[in-house]
Structure 1
Amino acid sequence: MAGKNTVEFSDASFDQDVLNADVPVLVDFWAEWCGPCKMIAPTVDAFAEEYAGKVKVGKVNVDFNNGTAARFMIRGIPALLLFKGGKVVDQRVGAVGKSELVKMVEPHLG
């Protein structure tokens, strides 16, 4: 359930792929059974394509990576967290549109 510019993150790879990244990272916490997660997936994938090279975009399936979900206190999905320099700098919970993703990310570019 990821586009060509959308990465799958796991508990094992999260620190290296997200916290140590040299660009901002937008992480979509989701699950297969989550309707709103499926609803925003094409938006997240389109965003990943548009911002390729500027922002890393990936997904964490909370059913298989509950350690990471617990670590960042994910209580509702979809949850979108923006990381920069290893820290959460913005977040949204629920099915949000592309304009919200742009609002999250733009202040942290450049």
Structure 2
Amino acid sequence: MAAGSLAVEATDANFNELINSDKPVLVDFWAEWCGPCKMIGPVVEQLANDYDGRAIVAKMDVDQNAQVPAKFGIRSIPTLMVFKNGQLVDKVIGAVPRNVLEQKLQAAMEPAAL
């Protein structure tokens, strides 16, 4: 990942700890060889920057980590998942515009409806 990256590197080892944050967590499942992943990568980095302190933005290389992608049945990348209190609350498959990701992250930041 680029120097100065604010996106956290998610791994099979730290994944559960990462998503059980009190902040919403956006995880980008990607691979080095994936063209659409490279297109969405800078957008994910921008979100990591813009939401620093309010949300956690992480990237998981599916070639380096097999357990978590298998657990979630990820067959297409990029797949981006939003977690809140350790629970999967939203997901997007494919390279989507920044505003789509931002809406999903914003929704996860709102207090749960009673």
> Which range, TM-score by smaller chain?
over 0.9
- Length, aligned pairs only: 109
Q: Identify the residue that residue 50 of structure 2 maps to in structure 1.
A: 50
TM-score by length of 2: 0.91
Q: In the aligned structure 1, how far is the partner of 2:74 from the partner of 2:90?
A: 14
Identity %: 49
Q: Identify the residue that residue 89 of structure 1 maps to in structure 2.
A: 89
Q: In the aligned structure 2, how far is the partner of 1:101 from the partner of 1:68?
A: 21
Matches within 5 A, 1:11-50: 11-18=12-19, 20-50=20-50
Deviation at 1:95, TM superposition (A): 0.4
Aligned partners of 2:82 and 2:108 also within 8 Å: no
Q: Can you give the 5+ residue segments of structure 2 that lack an aligned partner in the other structure?
A: none
Q: Can you give the 5+ residue segments of structure 1 that lack an aligned partner in the other structure?
A: none
| Larger CA Rg, structure 1 vs 2 | 2
Query: Which 4+ residue blocks in structure 1 deviate beyond 2 angstroms?
Result: 1-4
> 2:11 is matched by which residue type in structure 1?
S
TM-score by length of 1: 0.94
Cα RMSD, aligned residues only:
1.1
